[in-house]
A and B are shown apart, each in its own frame.
Chain A
């Protein structure tokens, strides 16, 4: 009973981490950098969803769409403000710029939504009562979040496999110079990558919102777990990020259930440190030249 419950909740949160990780990987594949404000995009989108759903009284689906659009717009802004002006300089400048943005978002959320109470709760979209199926206890809300996340992942895969834009993004990630030569506007692809990455984070936030409370400091923990998931998959692999997300979620749930609840927070940090030191190219890659 405990094990099945833990696995189920691990898979659910893992699916959300996988979405955050997908956003990181899309940006990393296209541009070679990490968006340190990904977690704050997630948090900020969660608050936008709250405003749309609770304050404006929109339904869950319209607020979902609205939030994803808003997230996309935020991603474009980040590209314009913090990436494009500094992209030709060193990596320190880019990292510091995205870190700066993340704090601007966090402070803005604190100013806009923080005054009402420290933690905002998002109303549940299904009945809160758990369903008992044989020996397994299922919380409907988790199932909704899980199915939503899987649907988004499938949509993502289809986008990259079948759409023209997705193929252009893959070509740019593969070889920027060649992509430019065949007429792809790589600058726009970068912009698009930031937008898509942020939109995925926004989608994850709307799915996660009914399961967790919203507060301005929540972004970092999702960022670090999303990063743990991405780095388990090697930081440049979309399937790897999904696998990593589930792994991080399950390990975290098991550690919380069997060791101590406080270990949940720290399991991701430990995983990051171990993976980076022992196997910096991720679990799925077998050989890669060292980047210098």
Chain B
């Protein structure tokens, strides 16, 4: 069995040899997803990449099927969504899976981002990998916004109105961009038609950037909870079966949460107002975006200036891309950074509080609290990240990934790469 985990792919049959010499795709899959060395100390935070891939697939499949029944027009969209819910076989399942799938996609991406920020996965040599992740996140936000407008309910219509008005705040070119998005003098039939087209386009762009993201990952290798790179074969285990099974197991567990929402709380994350057809004469009394945009919505409303709020909101996302250069510490994992770790948890709490504030009306104490939290959000990137790295004394690091698992000085025989994990299947890995 030990030869199973050999590094290089060797085609066995004549057909496999013939094919491999013409298109070496089997070898690429083997080196990327079978023999690929994975740090042996990865925890469950590292399974969210696989969960996200699963959700990209779920969203594309349910979306393609929904598009067979949906009509992207201002007069027919709302009715066609009800048609899907009432008349189409399993239409309710397709739609609830797609709507809740978007929310689960964001749950998973926020855990994934938390992992990257806590364990310092954005630091050298993974800057490009990380920035590609920020690009995917931006594309996800655009896709989710466009998708939310398509049922053409009250929240859809007013969400589209508010967001396109945000873009109009951009100096000089704002009005032109707004007019090109609307295709008219206001949000209307041409708008929903092109939003549907773009909503269908962007997921394929996400898929393309995901390929680059995984490619960059397989060049630099995965980070791990210690932040120490793989130094020897004993620090790693082969991707298959270790990471494969763990990823699939975590994905299945996550699907239980997904299924619970679909079958028991399908509308919990939505808004009742979106079951009222779009009416351009009446704004819902309390207009809020979907939960995954709430922290940014709170930042937008924290500033009593239109352009200022818009600039801060976009900056709040874009500043993520600068983290590799704002953080001055050489230690990746916050596990070994006693001061930064405390600041980080405050930052995580502030982000959640901003989300809560985004769901509240823009009045009195909520506005003041939003302003304080917005200040802290930016201070984390612009003050804490650069300064703490300069003054902090990190904790003692383990000598290697293996040592962090087995304790200092202990040695284990076998395991790891590339001799074959089957040699000691009981070893913790």
> Real complex partners, A and B?
no
